[in-house]
């Protein structure tokens, strides 16, 4: 009789450091698999600790505690299917990223990650020791090979497993989102299937951790590269996939293929999930933000509402003598459309008092951006006071274009604990507002309606820190600025290459200069949701002190 093998895949959301909570999630998945008659239940990479854990894993007490929780799972899950779970392995002075496979109360195998990623947000070369190549493990029905995440992005480990008798490849992952990541994963895994001739299971986790969101999208490939199963992106899912032995080897029996959203929906979902999990995992319940009547604060208020619910979002309008009535009306319209609380705290009096206090020291000088920035910093003081008094986390609202060139006031509008739109250029903010107005999903806690009026989207952006101010007074139009920034930051193009795209050399050099001198601001800025491979923080790490400029 042909062999059959049922594998339960647990696409779940661990929390970094919550060892007991993560173990409870694993136990729940194992019990589901047991009820379904599974032969094995699999969880993602480093699931017991959460991911990414950065230098926390280098603390021996933490690694030992994680291993103790895995041992407890081995005993608690002895009467049923095998259990595979990612977690650290500390052996003497060596620390490994490992996959622990247990069955019947005993340890079947500890697979050690061989290829350690050292790019973008990953620093595993400095965290872990490189594991040796290993063969498959025998579960009595089938021999399973487990390349851990990066191991499956290269030929060596999967081919070694196939050559040593693996019949199915199970790839546990902690793979965070960036725009277009799913296609990259799929193409790489198809290559491994073609090279080995084996079915492959790509198991990913979900959930937000600091700047990163793990987007799930677990899938199963049969030889030839055909998708046999795909789980939803971003949502928890526990699914059972059956394999059967054929004359040509093991094959996955086709199952459901979840619908795949477009990049606008995925980006928006990442910002919502990043905000939701940042609050949930840090213990905050309510969000606070300054609502200016502009597009950036409007989309952040909308993201916060979709993440936390309107009852948990507090907006504050802080007008000065330069604030237009249109901005007051637009801020009120956004708060009303979302159903959020809106309070108004004028800053004119406080600004007057500050101007008077500084007058003796400023005597004989001309007004400049110093006086403008005082307004922004007063707003930061007010918002942080409300945050301290009521325990709400302050969200900051600078888009990637502003963050890139330092068009934001440090200790002013940069004050805050999280920035949902930190990795979204201004031109994408415009389109994201339009997308949200036209779309609503069941994972959004905000209203199903147009929440950002077209007048807010279409009006010229302004900080309103002086009379008739517009962003374009200091910067190129965003349609041009974002192209230049994408070239210089995301694509690492030279000045000459950007000029060859049709831009004025003086403007390109100015933008490059602004990017470099704003580095110190970014080092002090709030974390934010990562949408691209060149997000500010772990993806792009530049020195603060840097006198080099492109001579071209």
pLDDT value of position 464? 67
How is residue 456 annotated by DSSP? Answer: H
Catalytic residue among 103, 113, 426, 493: 113
- Judge whether 281 counts as a catalytic residue: no
- Distance in angstroms (rounded) separating the CA atoms of residues 147 and 548: 42
- The SS3 of residue 423 is coil
pLDDT value of position 470? 75
- Distance in angstroms (rounded) separating the CA atoms of residues 505 and 344: 44
- Distance in angstroms (rounded) separating the CA atoms of residues 465 and 375: 7
Decide: 358 and 368 in contact? Cβ < 8 Å: no
Enumerate the β-bridge partners of residue 257. 230
Residue length of the chain? 552
Strand bridging mode 82-91 / 40-42? parallel
- Distance in angstroms (rounded) separating the CA atoms of residues 326 and 320: 13
- Judge whether 470 counts as a catalytic residue: no
Does this chain's domain 4-246 share its CATH topology with 264-475?
no
- What are the tokens at 228? 């046999």
- Distance in angstroms (rounded) separating the CA atoms of residues 309 and 466: 35
Q: What is the pTM of this model?
A: 0.95
- Distance in angstroms (rounded) separating the CA atoms of residues 17 and 28: 18
CA torsion, ordered 44, 46, 47, 49, to nearest 10 deg: -170
- What are the tokens at 143? 């021999």
- What are the tokens at 393? 């986390």
CATH topology of domain 4-246: Nitrilase/N-carbamoyl-D-aminoacid amidohydrolase (3.60.110)
pLDDT value of position 145? 98
Helix (H) or strand (E) holding 299: helix 295-308
- Judge whether 226 counts as a catalytic residue: no
pLDDT value of position 552? 84
Residue in the structure block whose two tokens are 């820190």: 465
Beta strands across the sheet bearing 106-112: 106-112, 94-103, 82-91, 40-42, 4-11, 237-246, 249-252
For residue 515, how many C-alpha atoms fall within 13 Å in the half-sphere facing its CB? Answer: 27
- What are the tokens at 10? 């647990």
Task: List, in sequence order, the alpha helices (H) in 113-173.
Answer: 124-127, 156-163
Q: What is the CATH number of domain 264-475?
A: 3.40.50.620
Enumerate the β-bridge partners of residue 471. none
- Distance in angstroms (rounded) separating the CA atoms of residues 552 and 505: 9
Strand bridging mode 40-42 / 4-11? parallel
Q: Where exactly are the structural domains of the chain?
A: 4-246, 264-475
Kindly write down the DSSP assignment for every residue of 253-291, as one continuous string.
Answer: PP--B-----HHHHHHHHHHHHHHHHHHHHT---EEEE-
- Distance in angstroms (rounded) separating the CA atoms of residues 350 and 374: 10
pLDDT along the chain (552 residues), means of 10: 89 98 98 98 98 96 98 97 98 97 97 95 95 95 97 97 98 97 97 97 98 98 95 98 96 96 97 98 98 96 98 96 90 96 96 94 93 93 97 97 94 95 97 97 96 92 72 86 97 97 96 97 96 94 94 88
Catalytic residue among 77, 103, 124, 149: 149
- Distance in angstroms (rounded) separating the CA atoms of residues 162 and 145: 8
Residue 402 φ then ψ, to 5°: -70, -45
């Amino acid at each position: 009789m042909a062999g059959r093998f049922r594998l339960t895949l647990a696409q779940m959301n661990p929390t970094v450091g919550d060892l007991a909570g993560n173990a409870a999630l694993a136990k729940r998945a194992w019990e589901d698999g047991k009820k379904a008659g599974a032969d094995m239940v699999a969880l993602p990479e480093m699931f017991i600790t959460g991911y990414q854990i950065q230098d926390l894993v280098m603390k021996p007490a933490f690694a030992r505690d994680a291993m103790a929780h895995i041992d407890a799972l081995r005993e608690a899950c002895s009467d049923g299917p095998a259990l595979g779970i990612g977690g650290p392995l500390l052996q003497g002075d060596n620390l490994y990223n490992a996959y622990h496979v247990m069955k019947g109360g005993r340890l079947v195998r500890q697979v050690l990650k061989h290829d350690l990623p050292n790019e973008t947000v990953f620093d595993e070369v400095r965290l872990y020791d490189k594991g040796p190549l290993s063969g498959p493990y025998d579960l009595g029905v089938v021999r399973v090979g487990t390349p851990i995440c990066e191991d499956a992005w290269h030929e060596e480990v999967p081919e070694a497993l196939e050559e040593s008798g693996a019949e199915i490849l199970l790839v546990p992952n902690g793979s965070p989102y960036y725009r277009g990541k799913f296609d990259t994963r799929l193409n790489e895994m198809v290559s491994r299937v073609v090279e080995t001739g084996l079915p492959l299971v790509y198991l990913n986790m979900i959930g937000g951790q600091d700047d990163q969101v793990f987007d799930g999208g677990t899938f199963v490939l049969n030889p030839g590269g055909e998708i046999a199963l795909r789980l939803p992106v971003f949502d928890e899912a526990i699914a059972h996939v059956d394999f059967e032995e054929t004359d040509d080897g093991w094959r996955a029996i086709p199952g459901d293929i979840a619908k795949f959203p477009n990049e606008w929906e995925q980006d928006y979902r990442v910002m919502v999930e990043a905000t939701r999990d940042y609050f949930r995992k840090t213990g905050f319940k309510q969000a606070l933000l300054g609502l200016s009547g502009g597009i950036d604060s409007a989309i952040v208020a909308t993201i916060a509402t979709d993440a936390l619910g309107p009852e948990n979002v507090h907006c504050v309008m802080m007008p000065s003598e330069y604030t237009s009535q249109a901005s007051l009306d637009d801020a009120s319209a956004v708060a009303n459309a979302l159903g959020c609380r809106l309070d108004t705290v004028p800053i004119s009096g406080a600004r007057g008092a500050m101007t008077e206090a500084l007058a003796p020291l400023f005597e004989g000088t001309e007004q400049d951006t110093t006086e403008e920035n005082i307004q922004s910093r007063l707003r930061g003081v007010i918002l942080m006071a409300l945050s301290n008094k009521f325990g709400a986390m302050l969200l900051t609202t600078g888009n990637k274009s502003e963050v890139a060139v330092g068009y934001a006031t440090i200790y002013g509008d940069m004050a805050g604990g999280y920035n949902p739109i930190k990795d979204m250029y201004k031109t994408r903010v415009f389109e994201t507002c339009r997308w949200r107005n036209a779309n609503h999903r069941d994972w959004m806690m905000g209203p199903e309606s147009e929440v950002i009026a077209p007048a807010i989207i279409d009006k010229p952006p302004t900080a309103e820190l002086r009379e008739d101010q517009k962003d374009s007074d200091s910067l190129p139009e965003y349609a041009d600025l974002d192209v230049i920034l994408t070239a210089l930051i995301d694509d690492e193009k030279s000045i000459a290459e950007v000029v060859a795209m049709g831009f004025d050399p003086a403007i390109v050099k100015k933008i490059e200069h602004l990017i470099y001198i704003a580095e110190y601001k970014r080092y002090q800025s709030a974390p934010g949701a990562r949408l691209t491979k060149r997000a500010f923080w772990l993806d792009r790490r530049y020195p603060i002190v840097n006198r080099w400029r492109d001579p071209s």
